[in-house]
Amino acid sequence: MKYDYIKTVKQKNPLVHNITNYVTVNDCANILLGLGASPIMADDIGEVEEIVSISNALVINIGTLNDRTIASMIQAGKKANEKNIPVILDPVGAGASKLRTDTTFRLLKELKFSVIRGNSSEIKTVYYGSGTSKGVDADSADIITEDNIENVISYAKALANQSGAIIAITGAIDIVADSKKAYVIRNGHPLMSKITGTGCMLTSILGAMCGANQDSMLDATAAGVCAMGISGEVAAERMEKYQAGTSSLKMYLIDTMSTMEEELYQSRARFDVI
């Protein structure tokens, strides 16, 4: 899980097509640029096939989904599948409403995903078919701890096997798994939950990581998750050092991702392979 996967993004400058929510979209675009990728946001059904065709990855985020954009997600995703362009899913709030849960299953049925990233409640909903969420946050009963981690890895691998996608479950501890191998990542900081969009930004970054490293998507996804956790750690340290608040935290997080060099990455990345 080397820094090389990040370096590849800086070299290849992948174009990442995002069909995403209007809450965190600006941060997603800026963190992609910071990392070295190029973002494009386009959600009209009249152009998504064309836009995705010139892109290196497609990110589908259902954060503020509606009928119009769901149709665009399907159409863009089909074209991406046809052209073998990696598609990343962020099932924001799956479990919180029937629309979100049903849309997630519809997307999973009609499209093939390279990566599915969510919090533990969202991914449990995807795996078990139903679940609970506290809005767009994980239900406290679903938090990944050292005690339940074996179980989480096990359903992550099972879901990877069933869906063919890499599964990324993020929270206090992060899991990135395919059907055989799982990374357990212990980067990040609790303060990250005090800003909106850390999940969405990570999902967009995974688009860049997979778009630039299509032959090593599991490792590249894990590297992206590490990089996000490291950015959160550095940001939280700066916030505390300067006695700042959560808006500074968000700025420091994107700042750190935009200056993520090999030394910082290698000295901070904390993961096990299981």
Residue 33 binds a second copy (CB under 8 A): yes
CB burial readout 148-158, b (16+ within 10 A) else e: eeeebbebbbe
Residue 11 binds a second copy (CB under 8 A): no
Q: What are phi and psi of 143, to 5 degrees?
A: -60, 135
How many other β-carbons are positioned within 10 Å of the β-carbon of residue 259?
Answer: 11
Under rule CB under 8 A, how many of the chain's residues touch a second copy?
Answer: 63
Q: Which stretch binds a second copy (CB under 8 A): 21-29, 162-170, 205-213, 264-272?
A: 21-29
Contacting residue, 195, 206, 227, 230, with a second copy by CB under 8 A: 195
Contacting residue, 1, 5, 8, 39, with a second copy by CB under 8 A: 39
Residue 194 binds a second copy (CB under 8 A): yes
**Dist CA 88 CA 170 (whole Å):** 15
Q: 84 vs 140, which CB is nearer to a second copy? A: 140
Per-residue contact string for residues 64-93; x = within reach of a second copy by CB under 8 A: xxxxx------------------------x
Residue 212 binds a second copy (CB under 8 A): no
SS (H, E, C) 155-220: HHHHHHHHHCCEEEECCCCEEEECCCCEEEECCCCHHHHHCCCHHHHHHHHHHHHHHHCCCCHHHH
Q: 163 vs 258, which CB is nearer to a second copy? A: 258
Residue list 213-272, contact with a second copy (CB under 8 A): 243-248, 250-259
Tokens of 121: 């409640």
Q: What are phi and psi of 229, to 5 degrees?
A: -65, -40
Contacting residue, 3, 6, 60, 63, with a second copy by CB under 8 A: 63
Contacting residue, 7, 40, 158, 264, with a second copy by CB under 8 A: 40
Residue list 104-163, contact with a second copy (CB under 8 A): 134-137
Q: Token match 């990442």: residue?
A: 16
Beta-carbon contacts of 127 under 8 Å, excluding residues fewer than 6 positions away, are 155, 158, 159, 162
Least distance to a second copy, CB of residue 63, Å:
7
Q: 197 vs 224, which CB is nearer to a second copy? A: 197
Residue 26 binds a second copy (CB under 8 A): yes
How many other β-carbons are positioned within 10 Å of the β-carbon of residue 267?
Answer: 8
Beta-carbon contacts of 118 under 8 Å, excluding residues fewer than 6 positions away, are 90, 91, 92, 94, 126, 168, 169, 170, 199
Q: 93 vs 224, which CB is nearer to a second copy? A: 93
Contacting residue, 1, 5, 6, 27, with a second copy by CB under 8 A: 27
The DSSP bridge pattern shows strands 174-177 and 182-185 to be antiparallel
From 82, 155, 166, 159, select the one nearest 117 (Cα to Cα). Answer: 166
| Binding stretches for a second copy (CB under 8 A) | 15, 17, 21-27, 29-30, 33-34, 38-44, 46-47, 50-51, 54-55, 63-68, 93, 96-100, 134-137, 193-197, 243-248, 250-259
